[in-house]
Structure 1
Amino acid sequence: MYRIRAFRAVDDPESCKTFADGHLNVLLEYGVTKVTTANLSWFHNPGVYVILIESEDGSIAYGGERIHLANDHAKLPIEEAVSIVDRNIFELTSKYRALGRTGELCGLWNSKAIAGRGFSNLLTKLGVAMAQRLEMSSLFVLCAPYTVAMCQAAGFEIEESVGSRGTFNYPKLDLIATALLIRDLKDLPTANAAYKEKIYSFSSQPVQLTSDTGPKGEFSFNLNLTTDQDRHEHL
C-alpha cells in the first residue's frame, strides 16, 4: 500500500526537501547532472504544488511531480529550459496566461524501487487531475521521447510552434525533449477515454482509497489531493 498526497510547496519545506532529494538521486542514476529542476527556488514559490508518492507510514519517498502555476514570482521551468534555444516560448506561455490560469507539469520522477509498475502513467493522470483542481485552463509539459505517448493519452498535444516542431536538445545534447500542451483542461478532448475517466475520478474525488494497474499488476494507494489551495486563493 502506498500513500499519495499533494501539498503547496511553501506550506511544507520538509516534504519539498524529501521530493528534491529523491528526484536528484534518480537523475544522477541516469547521468543527468544539469537540469533546471535542480534549482530549489521553487521551495519558496507560492504557485508550486507537489504530489508525492510515499510508503504508507511516510518513511520512504518513491516518486512525485510538481505543478508550477505561471505567476510573477519566477519563470516556468519550460521557459527557463527552452528559451536557451527558442525565445518564442515566452510568447507562447504569455498567450495562454492571457486566456486563463496556465502552468507546467514538471519534475516527474520515480525511484527504481517502483520502476516498471506504471507509476509514471499514474502520476501523469494525477498531475492533470491536480491541474483541474487548481482551476487551470491549460497545462504545459516538457518530456522525454518515451513519455510522449503517455502524455498524449492524458490529453497533451505536441506544441509544434516552438523548437523543431516541438522538440529540443535538453537537458544535455544526447537527450531530446518534446514540448506538449493541454489546451482545454476542462474537457480534455484528445485524451484517451480510460485516462480521462481516471483523471475525472481523481479530480472530483480527491480523497479516496483506490488502485491502478500497471505492467506488474495492480497496486493500491491512499490518495489525498487536497491542499491549502482548497482554503486559499491561488497565486
Structure 2
Amino acid sequence: MEIVIRAFRATTDPGTCLNFIEGHRRLLELHFGIVAITSSNQDWMYHDNTFVIVAEDKERTKVYGGARVQMADGKLQLPIETAISKYDPSVHTMAGQPGVSEICGLWNSTEVVGWGIGSFFMSRAGVAVACMLKSTKVLFLAAPITVRMGKRMGAEIETSLGNNGNFFYPKDDFIATAMAINDCPVLSKADEKERNRILSIVERPVQRAPEDGPKGQLMIDYQLDITG
C-alpha cells in the first residue's frame, strides 16, 4: 500500500479542507454518535496559522485521514480552549504563552483502519509539522487508548489542567486527557526510534520511505514542506 501524507496552510486549499471536515464528521457520527465537537468547527479553514495534514492515495483522489496543527495567535482560540475552558479557564493562560500550538482533529477513515495511518503516521507528521513551526509547547487532547501514543511521541500528561489532566469530553461518558510536548523540537521524552524518525522528517520534510505499520509495510510519500 502506498499513501501520500502532505501538509498545507488551511487557507490555500479549501477543497481539501472540506474533504477533511466531511471525513472527520462521518467518522465521529459512525463510531461515537457525536454530531459536533470543538475541533470540527470550520473557522480554522480561514485561519492563516492553521496547517492541515492529510493522508491520501497516491493519485490524491481519496482522503484517508487527517490532522491539524493550529498555532495560538490570539485571533482564533485553540480547540482545547473551547473544549475545556468551562471546566478549567487556566487553559487560556497556557494557550497565550509564546510558541504554543495544538495538534487536533486527528482521524482516519474506516477504509484504512488498522494500518496505523491515523495513529502512528499522522501523529508523527503532526509533531514534525509543529516542530517545523517552531512550537515551544504542543498541546493535544488524547482519548484513553491514545495516551500511550502521545507519550511515545514525547508528550506528558498536563496535570495542571482539570483533574490531573483529565476531563469528560466530548460527552459525559468519554474521558479526554490533556497532554503536552514541552521541549519541541528536542523531544527528550520520546521513544528513541520515534524521536529519530520525527527529526528525520523535520530535516527532510519531502521524502519517500517504507514504514512498518500494524498490518505490514507501507510506502509513504511525505510532502510536509510548509514553507510555500
TM-score for the superposition, normalised by structure 2: 0.96
Correspondence 1:1-235 to 2 at 5 A:
1-30=2-31, 31-94=33-96, 97=97, 100-119=98-117, 120-227=119-226, 230-231=227-228
**Deviation (angstroms), 1:186:** 2.0
CA–CA distance in structure 1, aligned partners of residues 73 and 8 of structure 2: 18
CA–CA distance in structure 2, aligned partners of residues 225 and 165 of structure 1: 34
Runs of 4+ in structure 1 displaced over 6 angstroms?
none
**Deviation (angstroms), 1:203:** 0.8
The aligned amino acid for 1:197 is N
**Deviation (angstroms), 1:87:** 1.0
**Secondary structure of the structure 2 residue equivalent to 1:71:** coil
Show structure 2 runs of 5+ residues with no match.
Answer: none
**In 1, are the aligned partners of 2:157 and 2:179 still within 8 Å (CA)?**
yes
**Deviation (angstroms), 1:148:** 0.3
**Secondary structure of the structure 1 residue equivalent to 2:167:** strand
The aligned amino acid for 2:66 is G
The aligned amino acid for 1:111 is S
**Secondary structure of the structure 1 residue equivalent to 2:161:** coil
**Deviation (angstroms), 1:211:** 2.1
**Deviation (angstroms), 1:92:** 2.2
Determine what percentage of the aligned residue pairs are the same residue.
37
Show structure 1 runs of 5+ residues with no match.
Answer: none
TM-score for the superposition, normalised by structure 1: 0.93
CA–CA distance in structure 2, aligned partners of residues 44 and 34 of structure 1: 19
**Deviation (angstroms), 1:4:** 1.0
**Deviation (angstroms), 1:39:** 1.1
**Secondary structure of the structure 2 residue equivalent to 1:21:** helix
The aligned amino acid for 1:108 is L
The aligned amino acid for 1:17 is L
**Secondary structure of the structure 2 residue equivalent to 1:104:** strand
**In 1, are the aligned partners of 2:25 and 2:36 still within 8 Å (CA)?**
no
